[in-house]
Structure formats: C-alpha cells, structure tokens
Structure 1
C-alpha cells in the first residue's frame, strides 16, 4: 500500500486575512513539502497542472525537478498532466528529464483535466475534447516504446523516424490514467494495461468499487494480468493531533474553494453540515487525527481495492506550517498504521 500527497499549488486568498500569496512563494513552499514527504517516508508526491490565476503550477515537471535533487526515495508524478492540450513529445521529454535527475522516480499521470483554460491557451477546440486525448495518449505511449518514432495523427504534425531525447532511466516510463470516475476512461486504462488513478472527492468512496472491477475486467479481456495492475485514489484531507482540531482548521479553506468551483459548475452551496457528513467513515473527506485517517484509508483498501492513496492537502490556502505538520503526521503515524494493518489483513486472507 503506497501513501502520498498531491497538491494543486493553489494561491487562493487566505480566508482569515484576505491576502493572496505570490506564485513564487507557494512554489517554494511546495518544494519544502516534497522534501519533508520524502524525509518522513511517504511513497509519492503529485503536482497538478493548471493554467489559471489561483493555481501556480502550470509546469509540474519543473516544480518536481526542483525537489528531485533534494530527495532520495519518493516518487514524483504529475496529478494530472492535461495531455489533451499538451504536446506529448514535450511531455515525454520533460518527464524523461525529471526521471534522469531523480534517478528513476518520475511518473506521468495523464488526464483530460477538470478545467478547460489550457485549451484556448494552446489553441485547441473543445469540440475535439475526447479525440485529442485518445490521439495524444497513443503518441505518448509510442514515445516510451522506442527511441525513434514514426507516427501520424489528426491534431499534430506527423513524426517520421525521429529520435526523442533524453531517454528515461525507467523503461518504460510509468504512465497512469487519471479519471474522475468516467466509465469510458476506466475501461480505456484497463484495455491498455495502464495503472489507474480515481479522483474520489465526493459521495461514498465505496461506490467506486464497481469501477475498479470494470477496470480489471477490461484488462483481463485485453490479455493483461489484472493482479499486477495498480489503482490509486486522490482525496481531499487534513491531519492534526486531534480530530476536532483537524476538522476546524480544514473547513474554512475547503468551504471557500468548493464554493468558488461550485459557482463555476452550478453546484449547491457547500456548508459545514455537508463537510461534516463527508468526514464520516463512508464519506470522501479524510480529515481527523492519525488513527481516524488511517482507518478510513484501510476501509478504502478493503472495500474498493485501492493500492495507492493520495491525500490532497491543502485544499485552498492554509498556513504552510499546518500543511507541513499534516504531511509529517501522514508519514510518521498514518502510513505505518495503514501498512501494518493491510499486511496483517492480507496475510490472514492467504
């Protein structure tokens, strides 16, 4: 069971002060968070790509590379790379470079993205939303198969026996498929035999069990060994020494962020009762003391089959020292509890 952290490197106004930190400050803070995550024994750190004012990481590979030389073990991944509006050649080169700097710890999490700002920014038509992703994923996978590539598609100039460099340390460079729970994307990942990441940020996480089963069924039908495939989840959360303290500290920025996004997408108002309900064992918020969060992750593993868990922290803007403490507790107290219980449970199941 792998446990890690994901961030979107948000620079939203602080709920308490109303001030907005600079992109540069938040980027430097995230490097410190990655270094700490490595020091406390976490397995993976993910950085999401966005192209809007309230997010600072438009280039996850660059940010991850800044932390690569300061870390030793932790895996470094995008969360996600908006592949539909990117050039797969450049994506591959960037992450192959990261792989070299980190000595084989880079990963790509490819997705369509939950925001659409990058499409007009890079000159793509949203009417081609699905076709763009399919075509560019095909090219990305081809790039990692061989040094020289020949390829032709409808949305990018053809490539004719050209070399793509640098080559990564890992062969192949890991590519995950990020999904918000879309059946088609889950089936695609299974058919391709690629690891899957599910964004579980609402409702009951156990409802995603059928998607994991669908994913593995598709993999088996395509001739892949489903037992070797890994499934990750990405969920909002926060950890403090006391559950009530964690709940009270995480709520203000969570409410502010969810209501900003909610207004853009037509969601209802996010209030404390909605928040508290999501903190229950069957809810999608992983907020509490180390024991509470550990038990929720164990519950997710046993009932959904997740083999990697991303705690997304912070949601919105929180004090850097609070985020650092949450990461420390995740690595030193939550992860050992989860790994010990999962190992015991699996040994009893044999």
Structure 2
C-alpha cells in the first residue's frame, strides 16, 4: 500500500538535444536543462533530477553543479539526482556537495545512489570493477554516517580513515532524502531496507509488475530491520505528445538508434518495431497521449504501491520542442489525471 503522498518527477541524463535539425553543443544543452527545470516547475511537477554519465552526448558529469544552477533558477521544485554513482564518488566530497546544494535550494535537495549500470566512471577515476560491491557497501555506510552523525570516526579499505571528523556545511538533521536505485538485484533491495532508505526501481524494459517480488522483499526487510515504511519510486523512459500516434512515431525515431547501440555494447536484444510496440502496450516505455500515459502510470502505481514516478524524458537528439511538450503535458495533464484515477480507486476500496 502507498503510505506517502504521490509525487511526479522528471529525470534527465543530460542527453544533447536538437533544434530545427541542428544538434545543440554541450554548453547549450547544459543551459537547456536549467530552462527545462523552470518549465517543469511552472507545469506543476514535483521533482527534477539529473543523472551521472561520462560518455559522448551526455552533459550530466557534474550534477551537483548543474543542480545548484537549477536551484537558483527555481523556487519550489525539488532538485536531485536520478543516479549518483556512489562507488566512484568520495562520500566526504559528496556530503559537501549536497549539504551545499541543500542550503542553496533552501532544503529541496535529494539524491538517488546507485552502483552504476554504465561503468565508464571506474577507469576514469582509477577504480577497479572487481571492487564493484565493496566500493558501494563501504561508501554507503560512510555516507550515511556522515549524514546522520555530528562527528564520525571511520576506517575502511576504500579511502583514508576519519577520526572525530566534522563536516561543514552540515546537512539538515538526519541528512537529505537519499534513495537507493535498484536495477534488479535483491541484495540491493535488502541493503536499502537495512539503512531504512527509500527504494527507486529503475525499470527500463519489460513489465514493471515483475518487480512486485522486490517490493514484497523490501517491505519484509524494512520490518525485520525495525524501520518504518519508506517510499518506493519508479524510473522509466517515455514521451508525452498530443496524440498516441505522434508520441509513438517520435519516440521510435530517436529511441531505436540508442537501443541499437546499447544492444551492441551490452548484449541486449536488437530493437524492432514489434518489440517496441509490445513495450508501449505492456512494458516499461511510457509513450503516448496524456490519457494513455496517465492510465499506464496509475496502473503501475497501484500494482507496485508506488509513491513516486519519474519519467526520463530526454533521449539522444530528441528535438527540444518534443522535450518541452512532454514536460508541459506531464505536469499539466498527466500528473493531475494520475491523481484523479488513484483517488477514484481509493474511494472504491
């Protein structure tokens, strides 16, 4: 059961846009993200998040800096990360960045921590992929202690020890909202529950309802650890347009080459139109008119007991007009319709 007020957000991986057929350069795309955050706030959305990637066509490699710009350009919308690769970040530096962001934004900062599905940051910052699990486990333990304790003494294998360390500026009491991103690992679900942290399900393919077992495991693990119920969110890809046909054709045009590249890099299935249409119908692509997308979101919110849904709205070379229209429709039409559907369902329980 959802125990928290429903929130609708946007995720960006900083993917470069096009404008009238011209590909924006990196600096233009950075400025576009700030503009889109303002648009998201005006449309009534609750959260604007930015990822962390280190590959051509992405400009989200310094998310805390970009989010600070977003914070100064907005007043209400919460600002955070759709993923922070904790394994290749230093927890002390991360604390400084997000305590500062939280101060700049007047308490609107949050983040999602992940182990990384894209691993370019490991060689870039001198980490060994064989330490994948150990890096995340140690750094999460340290980061949460830095958030929750005034002074920290800590010893591990991934960085220098700390002795009675105080950090400034301080986090708000208890730290900023920190979610654990999960792509399918039950161990990650249990880890989130052990720390009493909210769970963000990264559902990028297949039926979202297949994560129902993870949700059940999370609830059981929270209870066993003695923690109160925590929010559960979902991150998925999609586009909203004025009609189903427009949305379907627009997303296919820009999603297909990205999916084909990922298939070559990671061994995923080759994209084809039949599989694409199946994902639209029953899978994790939220593409369509406002009514179509709202009904699909409401279904997964009900089935998984979600309190938050974040739509990743950018994909390589998607025109800025299509991005802006998605933001506007998601905030002004989809989010209110989702809440209306959920409210009607609740009155009939």
TM-score, normalising length from structure 1?
A: 0.95
- 2:26 corresponds, among 19, 23, 27, to 23
Superposed displacement of residue 170, structure 1: 5.7
Superposed displacement of residue 15, structure 1: 12
Structure 2 Cα separation of the partners of residues 239 and 34 of structure 1: 17
TM-score, normalising length from structure 2?
A: 0.95
Structure 2 Cα separation of the partners of residues 15 and 4 of structure 1: 24
- 2:156 corresponds, among 115, 134, 153, to 153
Structure 1 Cα separation of the partners of residues 199 and 179 of structure 2: 6
Q: Could you list the runs of 4 or more consecutive aligned residues of structure 1 that deviate by over 4 angstroms after TM superposition?
A: 14-17
Structure 2 Cα separation of the partners of residues 291 and 42 of structure 1: 17
Note closer, same or farther for the CA distance 1:187–1:348 as it changes in structure 2 (3 Å cut). same
Superposed displacement of residue 204, structure 1: 0.6
Matched, 1:7 2:12: yes
Superposed displacement of residue 186, structure 1: 0.8
Higher relative contact order (CA 8 A, sep 6+): 2
Q: Is the 8 A contact 2:20 2:319 kept in 1?
A: no
Give SS of 1:109's match. Answer: strand
Give SS of 2:111's match. Answer: strand
Structure 2 Cα separation of the partners of residues 53 and 255 of structure 1: 18
1:208-267 Cα offsets, whole Å, 9 max, x none, are: 1111111111100111122xx100100010001111001111111111111111110012
Matched, 1:345 2:345: yes
Note the 1:167-186 alignment, pairs <5 A.
Answer: 167-169=170-172, 171-186=174-189
Note the 1:119-138 alignment, pairs <5 A.
Answer: 119-138=122-141
Note the 1:188-203 alignment, pairs <5 A.
Answer: 188-203=191-206
Q: How many residues align structurally?
A: 344
Map of 2:262 onto structure 1:
261
Superposed displacement of residue 348, structure 1: 3.4
Q: Is the 8 A contact 2:57 2:316 kept in 1?
A: no
Superposed displacement of residue 171, structure 1: 3.6
Structure 1 Cα separation of the partners of residues 343 and 154 of structure 2: 45
Q: Is the 8 A contact 1:149 1:164 kept in 2?
A: no
Structure 2 Cα separation of the partners of residues 16 and 284 of structure 1: 29
- 1:214 corresponds, among 195, 208, 217, to 217
Give SS of 2:348's match. Answer: helix
1:300-342 Cα offsets, whole Å, 9 max, x none, are: 0111111100111122221111101110000000000111221
> Where in structure 1 are there 5+ consecutive unaligned residues?
none
Structure 2 Cα separation of the partners of residues 26 and 256 of structure 1: 20
> Where in structure 2 are there 5+ consecutive unaligned residues?
1-5
Structure 2 Cα separation of the partners of residues 155 and 301 of structure 1: 38
Q: Is the 8 A contact 1:176 1:197 kept in 2?
A: yes
Superposed displacement of residue 180, structure 1: 0.5
Map of 2:3 onto structure 1:
none
Q: Is the 8 A contact 1:187 1:214 kept in 2?
A: yes
Superposed displacement of residue 11, structure 1: 2.9
